Each structure stands twice: as C-alpha cells, then as structure tokens.
Amino acid sequence: MFGDLMAEMNAAQQEMEKKINAIQLSHSIQEGAIRVSLNGKSQITSLDIDPEKVDLNDAEQLEDLLIIVLNEALARLEQEKVEVTNDSMKDILPPGLDGLF
C-alpha cells in the first residue's frame, strides 16, 4: 500500500517536472523594443532587439533595457512554475492534504 502511494507520488512528480520543462514564455518591454523568450528550464531561447525602437549606440540604455526585460521575464516564469507546482501538488498529495498549497 505504502509502496503504491510512493510510486504514484513519484510519477506525479515526474509529470510535474515535464509540465514545468514544457513552459514557453515570451516577454517584451517598451512596445516590443526588446523581446525575450524563455523555457521552463530558465534558458533564454530567443532575444530580439528592434533597432528602430532602441538606440544600439547607447550601450547604457541597452544594458538597462536588457536587465529589465530579463528580470521581468524570469519573474513571470517563476510565477508560472509556482502555478504548475501548486496545481500538480493537488494530484501528488493524499486526499485532504491538498489544501496546504
């Protein structure tokens, strides 16, 4: 009985990890001046800079915008991960304990 419960919990945890790894998120700032895409492993999958909206000769401005867009995208990704984890915990925990999250 306990072994079955542990096997179910392990399977649910692996499913949760698959859902987190499958997350794809894009975020942009200043009306698309800079757009970044991330996956569930917090890896940057693309970074686009619109040269018509960003002065590429102004390194300080570009650095500031990159920091902002990356931090905001990572914060959104973290929130997505929390939501997936909370939803998955309802499936992992035994009945009656799902209200903990």
The 10s digit of each residue's pLDDT in 62-92 is: 999 999 999 999 999 999 999 999 888 776 6
Q: Which of 29, 60, 59, 61 is nearest to 47 (CA)?
A: 29
32's torsion region: left (phi>0), alpha (psi -120 to 50) or beta?
Answer: left
Q: What is the mean pLDDT of residues 43-68?
A: 96
The 10s digit of each residue's pLDDT in 3-30 is: 677 787 788 889 999 999 999 999 999 9
Q: Could you give all domains of the chain from N- to C-terminal order, each with its CATH number?
A: 2-94 (3.30.1310.10)
Question: Model's pTM, two decimal places?
Answer: 0.82
